Structure 1
């Protein structure tokens, strides 16, 4: 599983669904990606310190738009359990599962390996467990 290929697939998904992207390497490595839900535009930090989390952040921002989330301000990636953010996180997990699960035998699927692949925060373990169970 190559992170760059997954990011490319997610970028193509966004483009195919009318989501505009600003991809930049000018942000701090610790600056999260963000979304303007009104204009359906994602600011994607290509300079992230944790490259494994890039697909999670991108999928999370895509899900804000697909979920119809509304905000008058930019929404920055935050892996919290707050209602709107949690829904975007669950949607992102669902988007990333096929990249992890495809071509694996059931006994090879492990929630902790999945979480490690994408640097998914531990407080989302329950959401990951449910998503894998429902996949």
Structure 2
């Protein structure tokens, strides 16, 4: 294997496919995981795919993977706006990190959605490309 890419998903993303389909689409988290695995498999990378509604668990996962990963893809969801512990943990990793948002957070009605603090610690951000953003993030990391 060429390395492992950790794909982390924050709160309420376990309900993708049911949750506000007009905003997030009908793709489920299982569909996204399959897309990520297909991208990674094409380059010999492994995927470690996880979802949590707990900020503490997200921090633990980031700390566990802070060294030796090929990269991290993170959709912090609501942790984007007040998840300072997640931000601090991401600042400790030694690999590239791509932040993904399914919707275009800059076009959302609520102003607070536009200001993700997590962007301070990431290599790049993909926003508004739907579930495809995950596959693009994995492709980028696998090609580094």
Query: Could you tell me the TM-score, scaled by structure 2's length?
Result: 0.31
Compare the two structures and name the one with the higher strand fraction: 2
| Higher relative contact order (Cα pairs below 8 Å, separated by 6+ residues) | 2
Compare the two structures and name the one with the higher helix fraction: 1
Query: Could you tell me the TM-score, scaled by structure 1's length?
Result: 0.33
